[in-house]
C-alpha cells in the first residue's frame, strides 16, 4: 500500500497501461515536458520517450482528431483536454465524430481511445475554467463517461478506460488533485459501469459524483449525529450507468437524494431521478430531491463559489429536512 | 465594410475559365494499362452518379445526395496512384472516392437506397460511405473535421513505421474553417505522412469562393503559412492528377511530411440535389462542361492510338455493371429493426445501463 | 401541512405496503411527521391490528380521534361568502310552514353544508365516521338560554330536509329542556351554526381540539345590492343577505377547497326551492 495523491494516481494509471501495451500513446498540451499543467502526467516522458508522450499545439480539434484517426488505425491513444470547459472548442470531434462513426459505419470502425480532462470547480478559476460538464457527455449516445473520486479509482478506472474498445471521456476532478488516498500495490484494473457504495445506511440513499462524494460522506457523518443513517453511493460511471446498485439502495431506504456539481438543469441526477420514479415508484417513501449548483455560471470570488457549489452542510440540512416532513 | 453582394449581383461575379490546351500530358510517362484503368474508373464514377441522380428523381434514394459529376478525375487519378493500404478520408461528396478505392457498386448504391445490403447496412447513408477493408476510412459531413482525423491515421502509420499514407479530400469552402488550419499546422509540425487535396470547384456551396476568401487560391495561398509548397493543378486532367499524386505520396512515404494540393475542377450539377444552381453564370458552366474530364481523357486516349471501339466496350461494360448494381440495390431488403440498435459500442450493442 | 386530497399524505411506498398487507390506510393513524402513516405503522398494524387502527365506537371513538390532535390546537382560518337568502326568505313569507321555524332554517343550512361535503371527497374523508357510513360527526349549534350547545345529528347524511328539520327541532327542544344526553353532546368535527342572536351578521368561531370546520350562517339582513337584470343592465335591489363563513383547520383543509366548498353552499342556498330540490343549472 502507498499514499498517493489523485494527480499522482493519474500518471500511475496511464503508466501502468503504457507499460503493458505499446499501442498506448499520450498527447495533449504540455503533457510531456512539463508533466501536465496539473502535474498529472509527470514522469511519463522520461519513462516512455518522445515518440509516445507528445506535446501538441493549442489546437483541441486537431488533438482529438489525431486521437480518433490513430484509434481507428491500430493505436490506443490517450488525449488530454486541459480544462473540461475547452471541450466546447472541439465538441464536434466528440459528439459528431467519435460518438457516431462506429454506428454509421455499421461496426467497421472501432475507436479504443480515452480523452482525459480536468473537470469541476472549487479552485476560483472562474466561469470558463471551473465547469463540470460530464452531463453534456452523458447526453450523447456513443460516449462512455467516468469520474473517479479516489486515487485508487483513478488508476483502476483509467486502466479500464484504456482497455475498453470504445471512446471514454475520463473526468478528473481538479478539486481532488491534491487529495490523498491509500492505494494498493501492483496493477489495479477496475470496470466501467459500476458504482460503489461508500457508506451503507438504512434511512436515505445519497448518490454523488466526483468532488461531491467526499462532501456527501461528510454530510452522512453529520446526519448520523442527528440520528439519520445515510447510504452514500459514488456513481463513478455515468455511461454505462450502474442502475442496479442505485435502485437497489433506493429499494432499501425509500429516499433518494442526488448531489450534483452540474448547474441545475439536466444535471446527471435528473436522469437518475427519472429512472427511479419510473422503475421504483412504489419504493419511494418521499419525493426525490436533487441537491445541485444553482443554474448560474460559476462566480470567481471564493466566497461566492463556495456559496453555490453544494456543501456537506447543505446536503445534510436538505436530507434532514426532507426526512422530517 | 466590403460586401461581395454590393460589388456585384448574386450570380454575376467574375467567371473562371478552364484551361485552353488539353494535350499537355499526352506524352506523360504513364503506361496505357494504368490509363485504361483510370478511364474505366472515370466511367464508373460518371455513370454511377448519373444513376444515383435518376434514382433520387424516382425517390428511391432518400434524403439528399452530393454528386461528383464533373469532378471524377481527381478521385480517379489519386485512386490509381495510391497503394491498397493507404487511407482515404473524404467529405460527404464521397461516392466517387469510395468507388476509386475499389469498392463494388452494389453496396454503395444499396447504401444510398437505405437497404440491408448497403455498404453500412443503411446506417450511414450517402454522406458517410466507409469501407475500412478498402482503406476508405470514411466520408465525413462536418466540414474540416476529417482533416484532423486524417492526421491521426497518418500519425498511426508513422508510429508503426508501415509506410502508409493518408489522403484527405475536401472542398474549397473548407479552407476557411478552423479545423483546416489546425490540421495543416499539426501535420506540418509533426511531419505527418498525409496528403491534403483541395477539390476547388470554385463554389463554397451556393457562393463563389472568391467572394468569401481572403486569398485568390483558397488552398495554395495558405500553404506557405504552414511551410508547405503551393501546388495548383488541373483537376480535370486525370493524368496531371495522377502524376501529382504519385509525387506527393512518395514525398510522404519518404518521411518528408505533408502536402497540400489544390486541384481546380467544376461541378456539373448543384451542391446537392436541392440546389437550383442559379448562382453560376451560364458562360462559365458551358465552358467547364466542354472541358469535361471524361471527354478530355477520351480524346487523349484516341490521340494516343487507343481504338474508340475499345473505349466503347469499356463504356458498355460499365453501363451493364451499373444496371446490375441498380437491380441488386433495388432488390435489397430493408434493414432489420434490430439493426437500429447495433454497433454503438465495440461489443456490438447499444446498452447504457445494467 | 395542508392537503388538498387526503390520500396525498400517503407515500407510494406506504400505499404499496398497505395494499400488500390488506390494510385500509384510512383506518390507520400515522406516527410520522405531521401525522403521516409510516412504513413502521404499517408493519405494526399488519402484525397485530392493534391500537394503531381506528376502532369504530360512538362518542368514545370521537374522543379518541380528537385526542390525536387534542394536544395540538387547530390552526384556524376563515373564508366568507355573501349569500342571497331572498328566495328562502320569500318562501317563509309565503307562510311555508316548513321554513318558518328556526330549526327549519338551520336544517336548510345543514343540508346545504352536507351537499357541499358530498361534492368534495377531500373534505368528505375528514368527516366520515369509522363505520364508513354517514356523517356521525356533523353537529349543529343549538341555542339555549344558557348559550349555544353543539349537538350531534346522527346519520345526517341519510336525512332529507324534512328529517333534518325534525331532528334539529328535537335537539332544540331537548336543549331547552336541558335533557340532552352525553351522546348528543359529543364533540364534532363538522359543525353548522346559525347566528341569530343580537343581529350578529358574521361569526367565525375559533376551532377547538378535534374540530375540523364550522359553517356559520349570520343573521339575515335586508340590504341594497347590485343585481344584473336578464337584459344585462345593472340595478340596485333590496335583497335578504347573509354572510356564511367557514372556519377551518388550515393544516387539514386547503384554502382553495374551502372556497370551492363555500361556493357550492352558496349556490345551493341561492337556488333553493321549497320542495327541497335545487333549481336546475342555469
Segment A167-203, tens digit of pLDDT = 999 999 999 999 999 999 999 999 999 999 999 999 9
Query: C13–A325: do the CB atoms touch at under 8 Å?
Result: no
CB contact under 8 A, B345 and A108: no
Query: Could you count the other beta carbons within 10 Å of the beta carbon of residue C15?
Result: 15
Residues in chain C, how many? 282
What does the pLDDT average to over A67-74? 98
pLDDT for B96 beyond 90? yes
Is A251 labeled as catalytic in the residue annotation?
no
Percent of chain B surpassing pLDDT 70: 99
A131-140, A205-214, B89-98, C152-161, range with the lowest pLDDT: C152-161
pLDDT score of C5: 43
User: pLDDT (tens digit, 9 = 90+) per residue, C115-135?
Assistant: 877 777 666 666 654 444 444
Is A62 close to B353, i.e. CB distance below 8 A? no
Residue A310 binned pLDDT confidence (cut-offs 50, 70, 90):
very high
Query: Which is it for the CA torsion C141, C144, C147, C149, positive or negative?
Result: negative
DSSP state of B207: S
Specify the pTM: 0.77
Give the residue ranges of DSSP H helices in chain A: 6-20, 44-48, 60-71, 91, 101-104, 134-138, 151-163, 212-225, 243-253, 268-279, 302-308, 312-323
Contact at CB, A285 and C11, closer than 8 angstroms:
yes
- C-alpha C255/C-alpha B96 separation (Å) is 74
pLDDT score of C66 more than 50: no
Q: Mind listing the domains of chain B with CATH numbers?
A: 31-325 (3.40.50.970)
Give the best residue of B182, B183, B188 to mutate against chain A (max A CB count within 10 A): B182
Question: What distance in Å separates the CA atoms of residue B64 and residue C40, rounded to the nearest whole number?
Answer: 64
Report whether pLDDT(A1) > 50.
yes
Region B146-174: mean pLDDT is 98
- Report the C-alpha gap between A155 and A165 in whole angstroms: 18
What pLDDT shows up at residue C72?
A: 60
Q: What is the pLDDT of residue C131?
A: 46
Contact: chain C with chain B (3+ CB pairs below 8 Å):
no
Lowest mean pLDDT among A320-324, B166-170, C230-234, C272-276: C272-276
Average pLDDT for chain A? 98
- For A2-183, CATH number? 3.40.50.970
Neighbours of B230 (CB within 10 A): 14
Q: Residue C242's pLDDT is what? A: 92
User: Within the 5-34 window of chain C, which residues sit less than 8 Å (CB to CB) from chain A?
Assistant: 11-16, 33-34
Choice among A14-23, B342-351, C105-114, C188-197 with the minimum mean pLDDT:
C188-197
* Chains near B (3 or more Cβ pairs under 8 Å): A
Residues of chain B positioned with their CB less than 8 A from the CB of A69: 137, 148-156, 166
Please check the confidence at residue B61 and state whether its pLDDT lies above 80: yes
pLDDT digits (tens, 9 = 90+) for A289-305: 999 999 999 999 999 99
* Interface check B156 vs A, CB under 8 A: yes
Is residue C161's pLDDT more than 50?
A: yes
Architecture of domain A196-324: 3-Layer(aba) Sandwich (3.40)
Between the alpha carbon of residue A56 and those of residues A63, A98, A325, the distances in Å are: 7, 20, 56
CB pairs under 8 A between A and C: 25
Q: Tell me which long-range contacts A43-47 makes (C-beta under 8 A, separation of at least 24).
A: A43/A11, A43/A15, A44/A11, A44/A14, A44/A15, A44/A18, A47/A15, A47/A18
CA A93 to chain CA centroid, nearest Å? 19
Partner A, chain B 180-239, Cβ-Cβ below 8 Å: 182-183, 185-186, 189-190
Which residue from C minimizes the CA distance to A287?
C11
Taking residues B304-318, report their average pLDDT.
98
pLDDT at residue B166 is higher than 90: yes
What integer pLDDT is reported at residue C121 of this predicted model?
Answer: 62
Q: Do A2-183 and A196-324 have matching folds?
A: yes
> In this complex, which chains have at least 3 CB pairs below 8 Å with chain C?
A
In angstroms, what separates the C-alpha of C10 from chain A's closest C-alpha?
Answer: 8
Q: Is the pLDDT of residue C50 over 70?
A: no
Q: When comparing pLDDT for C233 and B274, which is higher?
A: C233
pLDDT in tens, C196-247: 767 888 888 878 766 788 889 888 899 999 998 888 899 999 999 999 999 9
For residue C212, the model assigns a pLDDT of: 80
Residue B347, number of CB atoms within 10 A of its CB: 12
Condensed to tens digits (0 to 9), the pLDDT of residues A224-235 reads: 999 999 999 999
If you count them, how many residues does chain B have?
Answer: 354
How far apart CA C248 and CA C259 sit, in angstroms, is 11
In DSSP terms, which residues pair with A117 in a beta bridge? A81, A171
Task: Note which residues in 9-28 of chain A have CB less than 8 A from chain B.
Answer: 25
Kindly state the cell numbers that stand for A314. Answer: 447543505
pLDDT for residue B157 is more than 80: yes
Q: What is the mean pLDDT of chain C?
A: 75
Q: Per-residue confidence at C282, pLDDT binned at 50, 70, 90?
A: very low
% residues pLDDT > 90 (chain A): 99
Q: Do C11 and A283 touch (CB under 8 A)?
A: no
Please report the pLDDT score of residue C154 as a whole number.
75
Does residue B23 register a pLDDT over 90? Answer: yes
Asked if the model's pLDDT at residue C38 lies above 80, the reply is yes
Instruction: Report the complex ipTM.
Output: 0.96
Say whether C13 and A254 touch across the interface (CB within 8 A).
yes
* Domain regions of chain A by residue span: 2-183, 196-324
Amino acid at each position: 500500500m502507498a499514499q498517493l495523491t489523485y494527480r499522482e494516481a493519474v500518471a500511475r494509471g496511464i503508466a501502468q497501461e503504457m507499460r503493458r501495451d505499446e499501442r498506448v500513446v499520450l498527447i495533449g498540451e504540455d503533457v510531456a515536458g512539463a508533466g501536465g499543467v496539473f502535474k498529472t502526467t509527470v514522469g511519463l516522458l522520461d519513462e516512455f520517450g518522445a515518440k509516445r508522450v507528445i506535446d501538441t499545439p493549442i489546437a483541441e480539434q486537431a488533438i482529438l482528431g489525431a486521437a480518433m484517426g490513430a484509434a481507428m488505425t491500430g493505436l490506443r491513444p490517450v488525449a488530454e483536454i486541459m480544462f473540461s470547459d475547452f471541450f466546447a472548442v472541439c465538441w464536434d470531434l466528440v459528439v459528431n465524430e467519435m460518438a457516431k462513426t462506429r454506428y454509421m459505419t455499421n461496426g467497421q470502425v472501432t475507436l479504443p481511445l480515452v480523452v482525459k480532462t480536468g473537470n469541476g470547480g472549487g479552485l476560483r478559476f472562474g466561469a470558463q475554467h471551473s465547469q463540470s460538464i460530464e452531463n453534456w457527455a452523458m447526453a450523447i449516445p456513443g460516449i462512455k463517461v467516468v469520474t473517479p473520486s479516489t486515487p485508487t479509482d483513478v488508476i483502476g478506472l483509467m486502466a479500464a478506460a484504456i482497455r475498453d474498445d470504445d471512446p471514454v471521456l475520463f473526468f478528473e476532478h481538479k478539486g481532488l488533485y491534491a487529495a490523498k488516498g491509500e492505494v494498493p500495490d501492483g496493477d489495479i484494473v477496475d470496470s466501467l459501469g459500476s458504482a460503489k457504495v461508500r457508506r451503507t445506511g438504512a434511512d436515505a440513499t445519497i448518490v454523488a459524483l466526483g468532488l461531491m462524494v467526499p462532501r456527501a460522506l461528510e454530510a452522512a457523518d453529520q446526519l448520523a449525529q442527528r440520528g439519520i443513517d445515510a447510504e452514500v453511493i459514488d456513481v463513478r460511471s455515468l455511461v454505462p450507468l450502474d442502475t442496479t446498485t442505485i435502485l437497489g439502495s433506493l429499494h432499501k431506504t425509500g429516499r433518494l437524494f442526488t448531489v450534483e456539481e452540474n448547474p441545475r438543469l439536466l444535471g446527471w441526477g435528473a436522469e437518475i431521478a427519472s429512472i427511479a420514479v419510473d422503475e421504483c415508484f412504489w419504493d419511494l417513501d418521499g419525493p426525490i430531491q436533487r441537491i445541485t449548483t444553482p443554474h448560474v455560471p460559476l462566480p470567481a470570488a471564493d466566497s461566492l463559489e463556495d456559496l453555490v457549489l453544494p456543501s456537506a452542510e447543505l446536503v445534510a440540512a436538505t436530507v434532514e429536512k426532507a426526512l422530517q416532513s | 465594410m466590403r460586401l461581395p453582394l454590393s460589388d456585384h449581383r448574386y450570380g454575376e461575379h467574375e467567371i473562371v475559365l478552364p484551361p485552353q490546351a488539353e494535350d499537355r500530358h499526352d506524352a506523360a510517362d504513364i503506361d496505357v494499362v494504368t490509363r485504361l484503368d483510370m478511364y474505366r474508373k472515370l466511367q464508373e464514377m460518371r455513370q454511377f452518379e448519373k444513376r444515383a441522380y435518376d434514382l433520387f428523381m424516382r425517390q428511391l434514394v432518400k434524403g439528399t445526395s452530393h454528386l461528383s459529376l464533373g469532378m471524377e478525375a481527381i478521385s480517379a487519378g489519386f485512386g490509381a496512384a495510391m497503394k491498397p493500404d493507404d487511407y482515404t478520408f473524404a467529405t460527404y461528396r464521397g461516392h466517387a472516392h469510395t468507388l476509386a478505392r475499389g469498392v463494388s457498386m452494389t453496396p454503395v448504391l444499396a447504401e444510398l437506397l437505405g437497404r440491408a445490403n448497403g455498404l453500412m447496412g443503411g446506417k450511414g447513408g450517402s454522406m458517410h460511405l466507409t469501407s475500412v477493408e478498402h482503406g476508405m476510412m470514411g466520408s465525413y459531413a462536418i466540414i474540416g473535421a476529417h482533416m484532423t482525423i486524417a492526421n491521426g491515421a497518418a500519425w498511426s502509420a508513422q508510429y508503426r513505421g508501415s509506410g502508409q499514407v493518408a489522403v484527405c479530400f475536401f472542398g474549397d469552402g473548407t479552407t476557411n474553417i478552423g479545423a483546416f488550419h489546425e490540421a495543416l499546422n499539426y501535420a506540418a509540425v509533426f511531419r505527418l505522412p498525409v496528403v491534403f487535396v483541395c477539390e476547388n470547384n470554385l463554389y463554397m456551396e451556393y457562393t463563389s469562393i472568391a467572394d468569401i476568401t481572403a486569398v485568390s487560391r483558397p488552398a495554395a495561398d495558405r500553404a506557405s503559412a504552414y511551410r508547405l509548397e503551393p501546388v495548383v493543378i488541373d483537376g480535370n486532367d486525370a493524368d496531371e492528377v495522377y502524376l501529382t499524386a504519385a509525387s506527393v505520396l512518395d514525398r510522404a512515404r519518404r518521411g518528408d511530411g505533408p502536402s497540400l494540393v489544390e486541384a481546380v475542377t467544376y461541378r456539373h450539377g448543384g451542391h446537392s440535389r436541392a440546389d437550383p444552381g442559379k448562382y453560376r453564370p451560364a458562360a462559365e458552366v458551358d465552358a467547364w462542361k466542354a472541358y469535361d474530364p471524361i471527354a478530355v481523357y477520351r480524346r487523349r486516349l484516341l490521340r494516343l492510338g487507343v481504338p474508340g471501339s475499345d473505349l466503347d466496350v469499356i463504356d458498355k461494360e460499365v453501363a451493364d455493371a451499373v444496371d446490375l448494381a441498380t437491380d441488386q440495390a433495388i432488390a435489397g431488403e430493408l434493414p432489420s429493426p434490430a439493426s437500429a440498435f447495433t454497433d454503438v459500442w465495440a461489443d456490438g450493442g447499444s446498452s447504457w445501463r445494467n | 401541512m395542508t392537503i388538498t386530497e387526503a390520500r396525498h399524505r400517503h407515500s407510494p411506498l406506504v400505499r404499496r405496503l398497505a395494499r400488500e398487507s390488506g390494510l385500509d390506510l384510512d383506518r390507520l393513524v400515522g406516527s410520522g411527521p405531521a401525522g403521516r402513516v409510516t412504513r413502521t405503522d404499517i408493519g405494526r398494524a399488519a402484525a397485530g391490528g392493534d391500537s394503531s387502527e381506528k376502532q369504530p365506537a360512538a362518542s368514545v371513538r370521537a374522543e379518541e380521534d380528537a385526542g390525536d390532535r387534542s394536544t395540538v390546537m387547530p390552526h384556524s382560518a376563515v373564508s366568507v361568502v355573501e349569500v342571497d337568502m331572498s328566495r328562502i326568505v320569500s318562501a317563509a313569507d309565503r307562510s311555508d310552514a316548513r321554513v318558518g321555524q328556526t330549526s327549519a332554517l338551520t336544517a336548510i343550512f345543514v343540508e346545504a353544508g352536507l351537499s357541499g361535503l358530498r361534492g368534495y371527497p377531500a373534505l368528505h374523508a375528514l368527516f366520515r365516521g369509522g363505520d364508513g357510513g354517514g356523517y356521525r360527526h356533523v353537529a349543529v349549534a343549538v341555542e339555549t338560554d344558557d348559550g349555544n350547545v353543539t349537538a350531534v345529528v346522527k346519520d345526517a347524511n341519510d336525512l332529507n330536509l324534512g328529517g333534518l328539520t325534525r331532528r334539529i327541532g328535537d335537539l332544540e327542544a331537548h336543549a331547552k329542556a336541558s335533557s340532552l344526553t352525553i351522546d348528543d353532546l359529543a364533540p364534532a368535527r363538522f359543525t353548522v351554526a346559525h347566528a341569530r342572536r343580537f343581529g350578529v351578521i358574521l361569526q367565525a368561531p375559533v376551532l377547538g381540539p378535534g374540530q375540523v370546520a364550522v359553517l356559520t350562517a349570520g343573521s339575515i339582513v335586508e340590504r341594497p345590492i347590485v343585481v344584473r337584470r336578464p337584459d344585462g343592465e345593472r340595478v340596485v335591489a333590496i335583497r335578504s343577505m347573509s354572510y356564511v363563513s367557514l372556519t377551518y383547520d388550515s393544516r387539514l383543509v386547503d384554502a382553495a377547497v374551502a372556497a370551492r366548498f363555500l361556493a357550492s353552499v352558496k349556490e345551493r342556498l341561492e337556488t333553493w326551492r321549497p320542495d327541497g330540490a335545487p333549481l336546475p343549472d342555469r
